[in-house]
Amino acid sequence: MTEPFDAVDIIRAKRDNTESLTDAQIDWLVDAYTRGVVADEQMSAMTMAILLNGMTRAEISRWTHAMIESGERMSFAKLSRPTADKHSTGGVGDKITLPLAPLVAAFDVAVPQLSGRGLGHTGGTLDKLESIPGWRASLTNAEMMAQLESVGAVICAAGAGLAPADRKLYALRDVTGTVEAIPLIASSIMSKKIAEGTGALVLDVKVGSGAFMKTLDSARELARTMVDLGTDAGVRTVALVTDMSVPLGRTAGNALEVRESLEVLAGGGPADVVDLTVALAVEMLAAADRPAAEADVREALADGRAMDKWRAMIAAQGGDVDAPLPVAKETETVVAAESGVLASLDAYAVGVAVHRLGAGRVRKEDSVQAAAGIEIHVKPGEPVAAGQPVFTLHTDTPERFARAHEALKGGWTVEPERAGAAVLGDALASDQSVVLDRIG
């Protein structure tokens, strides 16, 4: 058949940036690329032009719409309760989805959490949950609907039918240096979330060394772009910009993070993990017209309601909720050389070390070690004594330790005990508010 447009003409229009692309041009380009009519090298040129010149709000909205239209749409209209979802842009030790989904479900809001696997230095929710014996990530749409109705929460893999154009485009961006383009990040995330059909969406946009967005300005721009996309599509959308300069909690790695999530669901756990879980839950409940005070949300963690939902959710997907989690065959500790206060801890360094221990993957088809990861014994602002363990490294393959140690080298600093050191530590601890901004 004769195509209505020429890809080169559209590439030139964005390259020269003299006029906005039309809806028809964008619809055709995304569809033609999905069909294989537009070649990879042509779309590579287009994504680079977008990276360099950006897109208008109307262009991003239409690009997202075209990616949604490349596949199927889900609907939760038949459920007896409203729906709310959360998406994180990824980080180190970010296990928030695990306690958050059952916590929100405890307030009679359905949580259809379609999650992914880790790639590079960031962890994946599905990898973490697969450390639970018997748990399965793949559900049919019918199974998902039934579990949302009976339990109220599901965490599973997204079906291949949602925004297939994004899957093809993301693989291309990954090898052409265009992953960082904010219009493409925003449309990639939001095309899947809008196609998923949730009624409300809360975005956790990470910023810092362990995040894709390194500066607060770029994180805010991404958050605003995604909130606009959700709003334009009729989805109640709000974004929290949150800190990822330091790992979340005191564990990074699959089974280790599940264990820490269970501590949160039991009413304990690290303060930063609890605080962010509660903040996101409050936003999700408000967006789903089930507003709850922060104190009530915290009470649902303390009194066991969220844990009950967790056990039901895991069991519904075949998981043995009482089975012990995997434990690494080998461990090594990293100790402080001097006494003082931990002044810094770089999330990226920890993420790379965890990856090298076997908890992450280079390619999507790679397998991961369930028990690999790092325990963090000291966080910034806390005192440390010479010889005291700062990290415990876990892996099943001890030959991995050397490269993990290399990744951590220079990724943390101790301020010696001297006048003012304690004050420095206190300042670091108090300044690390988890939520840095709210947009929407």
Instruction: Supply the Cα-derived Rg of the chain in whole angstroms.
Output: 22
Q: Which of 94, 166, 232, 346 is catalytic?
A: 166
Annotation marks residue 188 as catalytic? yes
The answer to whether the CB of 22 falls within 8 A of the CB of 56 is no
DSSP label at residue 119: B
Annotation marks residue 379 as catalytic? no
Sequence letter at residue 128: K
Q: How far apart are CA 438 and CA 430, in angstroms?
A: 19
Residue of 352, 287, 54, 94 whose CA lies nearest to 185: 54
Q: Which of 192, 236, 309, 355 is catalytic?
A: 192
DSSP label at residue 11: H
- Enter the tokens of residue 287: 């967006």
Place of tokens 């961006």: 173
Helix (H, G, I), strand (E, B) or coil at 345: strand
Q: How far apart are CA 353 and CA 347, in angstroms?
A: 10
Q: Which of 62, 117, 173, 394 is catalytic?
A: 173
Place of tokens 């080998």: 330
Sequence letter at residue 117: R
User: How is the beta sheet containing 383-384 ordered, strand by strand?
Assistant: 383-384, 340-345, 412-416
Q: How far apart are CA 268 and CA 270, in angstroms?
A: 7
Residue of 116, 92, 258 whose CA lies nearest to 196: 116
Q: Which of 14, 87, 206, 377 is catalytic?
A: 87
Beta-bridge mates of residue 376: 391
Q: Which of 70, 115, 188, 261 is catalytic?
A: 188
Pairing of strands 153-157, 111-115: parallel
Q: How far is CA 84 from the centre of its chain?
A: 16
Q: How far apart are CA 75 and CA 97, in angstroms?
A: 21
- Enter the tokens of residue 191: 């095309």
The answer to whether the CB of 319 falls within 8 A of the CB of 135 is yes
Q: What share of the chain is helix, strand, coil (3-state, %, to 5)?
A: 45, 15, 40
Query: 403 phi and psi, to 5 degrees?
Result: -70, -30
The answer to whether the CB of 199 falls within 8 A of the CB of 236 is yes
Catalytic residues: 87, 166, 173, 188, 192
